[in-house]
Structure 1
Amino acid sequence: MQIERRLEELGFTLPSEAQPPEGFEFSFEWVRVRGNRVYVSGHSPQLPDGSLAGPFGAVPSEISLDAATDAARDTALAVLGSVSRAIGDLDRISAWLTVTGSVNADHGFTQTTTAINGFSDLILQVFGPEIGAHARTALGAAALPMNNSVVVSAEIEIDG
């Protein structure tokens, strides 16, 4: 439970299970565990109760780059909450392998990497470089589900 303690020390709380917006149904698994691999579906920022937190809209015309970077950090918390429920203890994570981030980006916006750094920076801060370092893709998209500003998925390795 070292990772959970570290998150607490940093002042972070993991949100509850994701709750779909009114009239929407999730027909996929948030996390799929196969052997020592954990496949994480695309997540966005969540409020403590699991509902979508936003911000919503395109970067940078509707959402600032700073707000998108914060949203990516909050998305890391949503991912950690889902992974914790799936594997029972975040200390089982032995390596973050890949992270794929999408930014709801205006045409020509080229700072998607900066926005997704919010996710990567939190993972590195909590897990350290030995476990937290990962390969990453940060793409711009014309639109994202439910108008989220960022969506991030990941592949993780676990022990046991």
Structure 2
Amino acid sequence: MAASAAALAPGRALAQAPAAGSAEQRLRERGIELPRSGAPVANYVPAVRTGNLVYLAGTGPIRPDGTFATGKVGKDVSVEEAYQHARLTGLVLLSALRGAVGSLDAVTRVVKVLGMVNAVPEFTDHPKVINGCSDLFVEIFGDRGRHARSAVGMGSLPFGISVEIEAIFEVA
């Protein structure tokens, strides 16, 4: 589905991307600590590197206390709360990526993000929710953080989480 021209217009939040530089330094400057990567909850690995691409498995929002952020968006969770859940999910993804490649400074490009939103059938603001992760990636990687993306609704997600996101990164 194509986004409106207004949503893609320069001057929006994503247009305020920081210049090229160290992603690890940006995390430190912003006081952002990545969560510890947990063990997979099923028969898969959190990251697979093939050539210069790293595929990250879908993961959900984990709060600083280690619990999942849960609920159905449009019923139990507001768009604003779900945006924050997507940002938390982005932090979990960055932690898994760092674990796979050693440093976020190895990232040359965020390639693709697939965001899944546990939402009521009438909910239509999936892109606004997944912006929580997309905005984080642009904040940390600058223009290298701009990516192709899909944002879709789901009838349910594992453990009742509100958001699940997977991503593909290009690394040096």
TM-score where L is the length of structure 2:
0.84
The answer to whether the Cα contact below 8 Å between 1:19 and 1:52 also exists between their aligned partners in 2 is: no
Task: Give 5+ residue unaligned stretches, structure 2.
Answer: 1-20
**Matches of 1:83 and 1:96, distance apart in 2:** 11
2:48 aligned with 1:32 = yes
Residue of structure 2 equivalent to 1:53:
68
Give 3-state SS (helix, strand or coil) of 1:57's partner. Answer: coil
Residue of structure 2 equivalent to 1:127:
141
Give 3-state SS (helix, strand or coil) of 1:46's partner. Answer: coil
**Matches of 1:52 and 1:34, distance apart in 2:** 31
Task: Give 5+ residue unaligned stretches, structure 1.
Answer: none
Residue of structure 2 equivalent to 1:101:
115
TM-score where L is the length of structure 1:
0.90
1:75-86 map, 5 Å: 75-86=89-100
Residue of structure 2 equivalent to 1:16:
36
Give 3-state SS (helix, strand or coil) of 1:41's partner. Answer: strand
The answer to whether the Cα contact below 8 Å between 2:72 and 2:118 also exists between their aligned partners in 1 is: yes
**Matches of 1:19 and 1:10, distance apart in 2:** 27
Q: What is the identity, as a one-letter code, of the residue corresponding to 2:131?
A: N
Residue of structure 2 equivalent to 1:114:
128
Residue of structure 1 equivalent to 2:156:
143
**Matches of 2:108 and 2:164, distance apart in 1:** 23
Deviations along 1:63-121, one digit per CA (max 9) or x if unpaired, are: 11100000101111100000001100111100111000000010110000000000000
Q: What is the identity, as a one-letter code, of the residue corresponding to 1:156?
A: F
Residue of structure 2 equivalent to 1:4:
24
Out of 87, 100, 104, the position equivalent to 1:90 is: 104
**Matches of 2:165 and 2:146, distance apart in 1:** 16
2:79 aligned with 1:65 = yes
The answer to whether the Cα contact below 8 Å between 1:42 and 1:153 also exists between their aligned partners in 2 is: yes
**Matches of 1:61 and 1:53, distance apart in 2:** 17
**Matches of 1:102 and 1:143, distance apart in 2:** 10
Give 3-state SS (helix, strand or coil) of 2:112's partner. Answer: strand
